[in-house]
Amino acid sequence: MSHGHSAAIEPSLEAPNTRLAPAGLKTRRLALAAGVVGIGATVLLGGSHGGEHGVFLAKSWLQVFLLLLAVSLGSLFFVIIQHLTRAGWSVTVRRPAELLASNLTWIWVLFLPFVAMAATGRLGVLFPWADLEHLRAHNPGEYDLVVKKIAFLNQPFFWARASVYFLVWALLARFFLKGSLEVGDTGSQKAEDRMAKWSGPAAILFGLTTTFASFDWIMSLSPGWFSTMFGVYFFAASVTAGFSALILCCVLLQRAGRLQGLVTAEHYQDLGKLLFGFGIVFWAYIGFSQYMLIWYANIPEETGWFLVRQIGGWAVLSFALLFGHFVIPFVGLISRWPKRFPSILALGAVWMLVFAWIDFFWLVMPVIPADLATATDYRAFVDAHASAPTGLLNPINLTMTLGLCGIYVWATLNRLERHPLLCRRDPWLQNSIAFENM
């Protein structure tokens, strides 16, 4: 028997230990109420302002949408990798990941406001390349760069790519959940082998779609800028959010009296190692590499994106992100012991989710000023924008986060209540229950 949390509990595969309903009913109602209140407050706050507040509202929606998308994509990546490597240790924690990933079947709904913006001719408010006339009038330098990318940055192709992304993600999430449910119901070895067989192509599709989605939905917010490493950065941000949410989900399920004796300190230690390796160290490595290469090359078209994140309140936020997303959690989770205590690891997961939210804010919100293209004195430019606020704690951003996250939690709890929390007939189940770290 493994040591730590639930070590003295006899693992049961019966429904009271492997089905959430009805324990999550109250939480589900609270989540839905929070979602409705949050969205309603956002509409009231956003509807009473125009101009720049309209831009902030659109960007705030995009920021929170990307965070929730990242949670689902990170969970999908976890599932794909477990089948790709035929991992046995993760069987008892894989179903929560599959159900988090299954949100990809509906998350396209949160993209519809951008469809509405395009239909009303307002997509250029968010993506400057969608309104070239306005861009040419207000930022001719960036316009000259964007017209060279017009074969890629045009609305028909943009919407076609978005449709492909959502379709691929939904099909992958559905494929692995359906296969896992089949194994859980019948013990089908064919279904197990089928998921392992297609996990390789799934990983390739995952990598391609997430990379191009990050180009389309984040990098093209500043269409004159480019970075060949940005897709990998988005991947690192996604696994940060996905692994953090998976840890939190497992801890909360056990707090609700489920998965007792099935998820042990050994599983938490491995989940903590994945969060530490991918969400903390790899994220910092990619972030530093991207910054270092752009700083070293010192090409104006590339450096502007970082320059605006080094002025005013954005400089403070950049340092907060460095210490909050890397230095502090690195020190806190480098030892094996914090990973083996669910309460401590859950606190770390909440911390990382907060900084994932800040990370997406840092990616989405800043706008490269038009006067940067003509600036000849960097110090004078910094002084001119020294009072640039971030708006991180703007009430609109907070109510938006409450609203969309509430809806996401509600949808996730629906899935957790409708499906078993464990693949009961997986051939590796007993190995997973008895798993111990070396």
What average pLDDT does the chain have? Answer: 93
| 366 contacts 385 by C-beta, under 8 angstroms | no
> How many residues in the chain?
438
Lowest mean pLDDT among 56-70, 285-299, 305-319, 374-388: 374-388
Q: What is the pLDDT of residue 3?
A: 41
- Structural domain of residue 382, as residue ranges? 26-433
Q: What is the pLDDT of residue 7?
A: 45
Question: What is the mean pLDDT of the segment spanning 278-300?
Answer: 95
pTM: 0.95
pLDDT digits over 89-116, tens only? 999 999 999 999 999 999 999 999 999 9
Q: Quick one: pLDDT band at residue 23, thresholds 50, 70, 90? A: confident
Cα 171 to Cα 76, 80, 106, 184, distances in angstroms: 11, 13, 11, 20
Lowest mean pLDDT among 10-14, 27-31, 205-209, 288-292: 10-14
Q: What is the pLDDT of residue 4?
A: 42
User: 1 in a domain, yes or no?
Assistant: no
User: 113 in a domain, yes or no?
Assistant: yes
pLDDT digits over 187-207, tens only? 999 999 999 999 999 999 999
- Whether the link from the prior residue into 300 is cis, omega within 30° of 0, is no
Question: What is the mean pLDDT of the segment spanning 283-295?
Answer: 97
Look at the chain and report how many structural domains it folds into. Answer: 1
| 367 contacts 308 by C-beta, under 8 angstroms | yes
Q: Quick one: pLDDT band at residue 383, thresholds 50, 70, 90? A: confident
User: 7 in a domain, yes or no?
Assistant: no
| 401 contacts 38 by C-beta, under 8 angstroms | yes
What values do phi and psi take at 215, rounded to 5? -60, -45
Helix locations, 139-229, DSSP H: 140-146, 155-186, 189-217
Long-range contacts of 103-106 (CB under 8 A, 24+ apart): 103/68, 103/71, 103/72, 103/173, 103/408, 103/411, 103/412, 103/415, 104/72, 104/73, 104/76, 104/166, 104/169, 104/170, 104/172, 104/173, 105/170, 105/173, 105/174, 106/411
Q: What is the pLDDT of residue 118?
A: 96
User: 3 in a domain, yes or no?
Assistant: no
| Neighbouring residues of 156: CB distance < 8 A, sequence distance ≥ 6 | none
Kindly state the percentage of the chain with pLDDT values over 70.
95
Cα 123 to Cα 120, 128, 225, 346, distances in angstroms: 8, 8, 19, 39
Lowest mean pLDDT among 245-249, 378-382, 404-408: 378-382
| 17 contacts 259 by C-beta, under 8 angstroms | yes
pLDDT above 80 (res 406): yes
Alpha-carbon torsion (179, 253, 358, 46), positive or negative: positive
Question: What is the mean pLDDT of the segment spanning 174-184?
Answer: 97
User: 16 in a domain, yes or no?
Assistant: no
pLDDT above 50 (res 233): yes
| 3-class DSSP state of 23 | coil
User: 277 in a domain, yes or no?
Assistant: yes
Question: What is the mean pLDDT of the segment spanning 245-264?
Answer: 96
User: 67 in a domain, yes or no?
Assistant: yes
Q: What is the pLDDT of residue 47?
A: 67
User: 88 in a domain, yes or no?
Assistant: yes
Q: Quick one: pLDDT band at residue 214, thresholds 50, 70, 90? A: very high
